[in-house]
């Protein structure tokens, strides 16, 4: 599917090993052990309703290819990011038929499949820790590469300010080296181009999350993308828009890391968090990225970063942060378990087993929150035919650094980092000069179904209640029959 198709969707990110077992069992799963816990593709198939009922219409799954086997110094390859044979599948997750079944089960439900792909490196356990590169590895396991000359000369990345280092030295360390493929070598390059073409077509994949994209030269990517022929979103792990921007030319877009850091810092430092940096980052990205921020993947949690609730417990703050990906320009991505209030910290603690929640959605306020946000975004898309192509804009809240007002019609979203404490308060004011509304217009906060009315001149003043976010939509933009405050 194309990038434009993906903009209408919202994505649920699954760590395949940690989502569900195909046989329905619920074994214990100690994340600190860094071992396979048993999740597989059949397990995902069995729980697609859980995902779809929250309003998601796409999933992103872990890398699917065969990984290094056994235990490494960093545990087992349960996350899938240590490829060994790119022409075989990871049998811990199932068979080729299982992956095809997952793809077709998704398509039968009108959902898309995004697969995570690793092109930068492969992994083999060192055969002899006292030997030195290139003798250290059994290259015959590393298929289809098979020899030391498919790899860059060993050196570990030491200087992230030196782009040649970042591209041609290795991730990992001497304990667990990630063998860096020589992506300047035309045989390696052609192998990867035909591999991605076949992978996409064999499993009818709709989109790709491209791992470690900043670790390969930029001009590798355009031909990779055209061989893939589907939406590609690159992982460029960086807090800097200017660094990330060029990758939005070769690939469709990037995971929106710069804004992620701005959001995380704005909301997890009490009221000293600076909300205006979010606006600055988005404005930079809108200016510098190809296609602006329309094709970015927007998230507040993932497998590499601590969960929100490992840092903040105030549910008002959590709900503000979770609202962000759904109301700005990008494609919303929710990391599995966030809806269940999971609290794991840094890798590996943030990779908890979802089955331990029992897939229970009753009395789960964050499940309700996500459901409402997905429904609101769908309603916004249908109420305003230019919603997906209108840039989000920020309405200056000069009296406070603790509030943010974002307009993306029909949404006016009001966020705050004051939290739920009784002593804290926040309010937003939208001047008539913003030109958003006419006089005496009724707006509905779709998170509560409460209404507010604009002044005669179209201006608006709103106070927060309990530090909660507000997602306001004109009453007339809500469908009378829809489930979203439909009776307004
Ligand atoms: C394992 C252990 C960890 C241990 C680590 C050394 O080894 O589990 O406990 O600390 C996979 C596994 C991991 C595993 C790694 C390494 O492999 O999932 O569990 O860690 O064996 C992707 C994936 C990630 C995956 C891999 C490898 C790559 O999302 O899940 O990890 O295929 C770099 C890469 C990035 C990579 C990330 C983990 O490492 O660029 O692609 N993610 C700076 C650098 C970044 C760097 C980051 C973390 O540090 O610029 O390039 O990411 O090392 C911002 C700055 C940024 C800065 C961040 C931290 O702060 O602007 O520059 O990032 O403000
Ligand atoms: Ca590389």
Sheet containing 331-335: order of strands? 253-254, 231-234, 207-210, 112-117, 58-61, 11-14, 331-335, 297-298
For residue 166, give the ligand 1 atom closest to its CA: 51
Tell me the C-alpha distance between 296 and 293, whole Å: 5
User: What tokens were used for 270?
Assistant: 């009490």
Query: What Cα–Cα distance (Å) separates residue 393 from each residue in 92, 296, 411?
Result: 45, 16, 11
CA of 207 to the centre of ligand 2 (A): 22
Q: Cβ(303) to ligand 1 under 6 A?
A: yes
Ligand 1 proximity of 74 Cβ (cutoff 6 Å)? yes
Cα–Cα distances (Å) from 373 to 122, 132, 301, in that order, read: 38, 53, 16
- Measured from the alpha carbon of residue 299, the closest ligand is 1
Q: What is the whole-number distance in angstroms between the Cα of residue 171 and the centre of ligand 2?
A: 8
d(CA 141, CA 143): 6
Quick check: 420 and 316 in contact, CB under 8 A? yes
Place of tokens 């800097």: 240
Task: Determine contact, residues 196/209, Cβ cutoff 8 Å.
Answer: no
Residue 59: half-sphere exposure toward Cβ, Cα within 13 Å: 26
Residues that are catalytic: 211, 235
Cβ(421)–Cβ(397) under 8 Å?
A: no
**Measured distance CA(345)–CA(306) in Å, rounded:** 4
Q: Which of 81, 234, 297, 335 to mutate to test the pocket of ligand 1 (most atoms within 8 A of CB)?
A: 81
Q: Dig out the tokens for 247 from the structure.
A: 């990758």
Cα–Cα distance for residue pair 457/450, rounded to 1 Å: 21
Sheet hosting strand 403-408, strand order edge to edge: 393-394, 403-408, 411-416, 470-474, 442-445, 450-453
CA diameter of the chain: 79
Distance 182 CA to ligand 2 centre (A): 7
Among protein residues, the one with the nearest Cα to ligand 1's atom 61 is 239
Cis-peptide, bond into residue 170, ω within 30° of zero = no
Nearest-CA residue for atom 12 of ligand 1: 81
Q: How far is CA 34 from CA 318, 327, 388, in A?
A: 27, 35, 40
| Beta strands across the sheet bearing 171-172 | 121-122, 177-180, 171-172
Ligand 1 touching residue 379 (CB < 6 A): no
Q: With H, G, I as helix, E, B as strand and everything else as coil, classify residue 51.
A: helix
Q: Which pLDDT score is estimated for 487?
A: 52
**Residue 186, phi then psi, degrees to nearest 5:** -65, -30
Predicted local confidence at residue 481, as pLDDT: 66
pLDDT score at 488: 46
Contact 224, 119 (CB under 8 A): yes
Tens of pLDDT along the chain (488 residues) come to 999 999 999 999 999 999 999 999 999 999 999 999 999 999 999 999 999 999 999 999 999 999 999 999 999 999 999 999 999 999 999 999 999 999 999 999 999 999 999 999 999 988 887 889 999 999 999 999 999 999 999 999 999 999 999 999 999 999 999 999 999 999 999 999 999 999 999 999 999 999 999 999 999 999 999 999 999 999 999 999 999 999 999 999 999 999 999 999 999 999 999 999 999 999 999 999 999 999 999 999 999 999 999 999 999 999 999 999 999 999 999 999 999 999 999 999 999 999 999 999 999 999 999 999 999 999 999 999 999 999 999 999 987 789 999 999 999 999 999 999 877 789 999 999 999 999 999 999 999 999 999 999 999 999 999 999 999 999 999 976 677 997 54
Query: How many angstroms separate the CA atoms of 77 and 123, rounded?
Result: 10
Query: No. of H helices and E strands in the chain?
Result: 14, 21
Which residues have CB under 8 Å from 386's CB, separation 6+? none
Q: Per the structure block, which two tokens stand in for 23? A: 């046989």
Q: What pairing do the DSSP bridges indicate for beta strands 331-335 and 11-14? A: parallel
Give residue 212 CA to ligand 1 midpoint distance, Å: 9
Strands (E), 107-151: 112-117, 121-122
> From CA 111, how far away is CA 207, in angstroms rounded?
11
- Strand, coil or helix: 92: coil
CA separation for the pair 86, 117 (Å, rounded): 10
Query: To 5 degrees, how large is the angle CA 110–CA 116–CA 120?
Result: 155
């Amino acid at each position: 599917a194309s990038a434009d198709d993906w903009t209408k969707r919202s994505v649920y990110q699954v760590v395949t090993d940690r989502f569900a077992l195909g046989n329905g069992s619920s074994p214990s799963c100690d994340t600190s052990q860094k071992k396979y816990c048993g999740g597989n593709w059949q397990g995902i198939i069995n729980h697609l309703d859980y995902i779809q009922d929250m309003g998601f219409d796409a999933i992103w799954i872990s890398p699917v290819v065969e990984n290094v086997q056994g235990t490494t110094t960093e545990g087992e390859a349960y996350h899938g990011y240590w490829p060994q044979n790119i022409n075989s599948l990871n049998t811990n997750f199932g068979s080729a038929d299982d992956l095809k079944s997952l793809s077709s089960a998704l398509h039968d439900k009108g959902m898309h499949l995004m697969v995570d792909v690793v092109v930068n490196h492969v992994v083999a356990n060192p055969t002899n820790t006292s030997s030195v590169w290139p003798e250290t590895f059994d290259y015959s396991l590393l298929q289809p590469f098979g020899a030391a000359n498919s790899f860059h000369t060993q050196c570990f990345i030491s200087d992230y300010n030196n782009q040649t280092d970042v591209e041609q030295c290795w991730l990992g360390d001497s304990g667990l080296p990630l063998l860096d493929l020589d992506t300047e070598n035309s045989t390696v390059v052609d192998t990867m181009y035909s591999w991605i073409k076949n992978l996409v077509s064999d499993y009818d994949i709709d989109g790709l999350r491209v791992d470690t994209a900043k670790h390969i030269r930029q001009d590798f990517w355009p031909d990779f993308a055209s061989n893939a022929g589907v939406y590609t979103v690159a992982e460029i792990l960086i807090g800097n828009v200017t660094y990330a921007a060029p990758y939005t030319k070769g690939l469709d877009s990037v995971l929106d890391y710069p804004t992620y850091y701005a959001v995380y810092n704005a909301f997890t430092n009490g009221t000293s968090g600076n909300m205006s940096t979010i606006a600055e980052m988005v404005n930079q990205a809108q200016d510098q990225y190809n296609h602006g921020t329309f094709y970015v993947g927007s998230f507040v949690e993932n497998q590499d970063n601590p969960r929100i609730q490992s840092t903040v417990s105030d549910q008002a703050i959590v709900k503000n942060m979770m609202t962000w990906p759904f109301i700005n320009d990008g494609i919303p991505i929710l990391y599995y378990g966030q809806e269940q209030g999971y609290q794991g910290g840094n890798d590996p603690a943030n990779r908890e087993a979802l089955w331990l929640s029992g897939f229970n959605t009753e009395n789960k306020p964050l499940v309700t929150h996500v459901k409402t946000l997905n429904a609101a975004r769908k309603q916004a898309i249908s109420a305003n035919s230019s919603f997906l192509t209108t840039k989000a804009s920020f309405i200056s809240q000069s009296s406070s650094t603790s509030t943010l007002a974002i307009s993306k019609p029909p949404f006016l979203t009001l966020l705050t980092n004051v939290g739920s404490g009784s002593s804290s308060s926040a309010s937003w004011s939208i001047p008539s000069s913003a030109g958003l509304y006419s006089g005496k217009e009724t707006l509905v906060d779709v998170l509560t179904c409460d209404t507010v009315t604009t002044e005669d001149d179209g201006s608006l003043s709103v106070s927060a209640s309990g530090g909660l976010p507000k997602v306001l939509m004109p009453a007339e933009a809500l469908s009378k029959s829809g489930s979203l405050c439909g009776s307004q």
